[in-house]
Structure formats: C-alpha cells, structure tokens
Amino acid sequence: MKQKSILKSIFLVSIAFTTFAVAFASEPQKSPTGPEGIVPAEFPALPYGYDALEPYIDARTMEIHYDKHHRAYYTNFVNAIKGTAIEKSTVSDIFSGISKQSDAVRNNGGGYYNHLIFWQNLGKPGTSPSKELSDAINSTFGSFEKFRETFSNAAKTRFGSGWAWLYVTSEKKLAVGSTPNQDNPLMDISPVKGTPVLALDVWEHAYYLKYQNKRADYVEAFWNVVNWDEVSRRYKEAVK
Ligand code: MN3
C-alpha cells in the first residue's frame, strides 16, 4: 500500500513537471498583460502623486481626471462586460472586435484603456527617447522637431473631444493620428490602426481648469512631462 502511494506521488510529480515544461515551451502565445490584458479587479493606481506633473498639468486637474473621470470609465466598463461572453477577454481582444459591442463597452473600455496609457506616458521629465525610437522617429518624420510638430497638430486639430496618438502600424512603422471620443488605434472601427506608443488626451476635462480654451498651450506643456523611458519601452514591445 505504502509503495503504491509513493509510486502515485512520483507519477503525479512527473505529470506536474511535464505540464510545467509544456507551459514554458508554448510561451510565445501568452496573452498580453498590463493595459492590453484582462481588466483588473481593482481600479489601477496612478503611478505618481497628483502634483507630480506641476506646473504643466496641475494637481487639481489630475485629481479630478484620475479619481472621477478615469474611475468612472473603469467602473462602467467593468459593469458593461460583467456576466457577458467578453468578461474574461483581454482588452486588446475586446477592441479588435469593438464594432460588435455596445456603445457602453466602446466608450468606457476606451476611456479605461486610453487613460492607463496616458498616465504611464507621463511623469518622468528629463528623459529622452531610446536610440531605437529616436532612429525610427528621424527616419519617419525627418527629425524629432518635425515629429513633435506633427503630433501637436494632430492634438490641436482634433475637433471636439478625443486623443492624439503615436502608434506602430502592422508593418511596424511609426505613425501619428487622432481618434474621436474614447476610440483608439486598437479598435477595429478606428481609421488609424496599430499599437499605441504615446497618447495625449485632448478632452477639455484634461486641461480646462488651468488652460481654459487654450488647448495649444496645454499641448505644448505636455512635452515637458513625457516619460520617454516608458514610451521607448512600449515602442520596443510593439516592434518585436
Ligand atoms: Mn480624460
């Protein structure tokens, strides 16, 4: 009897090892994590304090933007997918089929994801693009200044509410564009498609307290607080 249970243990341990080895061997097909992954059970924390972007983006705006606007998108998104077939889907899978979803999923899902990217794109003044990203920017736009002008124009000329994006296309090329409302380049309905690398929120709630109607001043101020380490990391990941 005792020997039988030892044999059984050896058998179970070897099965566990095989499963472990197979899991590692098939790693390239792993699901995305982070903003593109499954929606977390808790509203994700802001990666820095409300005053971290002062004086370019003020603390009061950050507090309302994160704790009221972003939180509401998160909560409404969670409620919109709860109990449905997409509850456990990754955000990137939901977005690639967003044309088949309700406006509640599209608007709140976009609002949840876009702000996550935006917060992570900010908060590290004094950083600069990696050599890899810098080379890609120069070959696509001619120079960093030209890129900055193109991106700023996309932000300034987006009519009404929306976002400006630097993204990587399916051909692994950099591109700049903008989307209305809470749409983004991962969505199948978006005319600009790819993997977001840098995002800028141009809804009035992002700047009105400090800049009122002067969106252009807010767009110029934004460049002072970009976290280029994170933007470079996202670029590297997107061109893999
Ligand atoms: Mn916003």
Q: What percent of the chain has pLDDT over 90?
A: 86
Contact between 52 and 104 under an 8 Å Cβ cutoff? The reply is no
Contact between 200 and 118 under an 8 Å Cβ cutoff? The reply is yes
- Ligand 1 centre to CA of 3 (Å) is 65
Domain segments of the chain: what residues?
57-240
- Ligand 1 centre to CA of 163 (Å) is 9
Q: What percent of the chain has pLDDT over 70?
A: 88
Fold classification of 57-240 (topology level): minor pseudopilin epsh fold (3.55.40)
- Ligand 1 centre to CA of 23 (Å) is 39
Contact between 231 and 129 under an 8 Å Cβ cutoff? The reply is yes
pLDDT at residue 23 greater than cutoff 50 = no
Bridge partners of residue 162, in order along the sequence: 180
pLDDT at residue 17 greater than cutoff 70 = no
- Tens digit of pLDDT for each residue in 89-147? 999 999 999 999 999 999 999 999 999 999 999 999 999 999 999 999 999 999 999 99
What separation in angstroms does the CA of 5 have from each of 9, 11, 202? 6, 10, 65
- Ligand 1 centre to CA of 111 (Å) is 7
- Ligand 1 centre to CA of 64 (Å) is 10
pLDDT range class, residue 48, cuts 50, 70, 90: very high
- Tens digit of pLDDT for each residue in 191-214? 999 999 999 999 999 999 999 999
- Ligand 1 centre to CA of 115 (Å) is 6
- Ligand 1 centre to CA of 76 (Å) is 15
- Ligand 1 centre to CA of 161 (Å) is 9
- Ligand 1 centre to CA of 6 (Å) is 60
- Ligand 1 centre to CA of 207 (Å) is 9
- Ligand 1 centre to CA of 86 (Å) is 24
What lies within 8 Å, CB to CB, of 60 at 6+ separation is: 50, 209
* pLDDT, the chain, mean: 92
Residue (of 167, 145, 163) closest to 154 by Cα position = 163
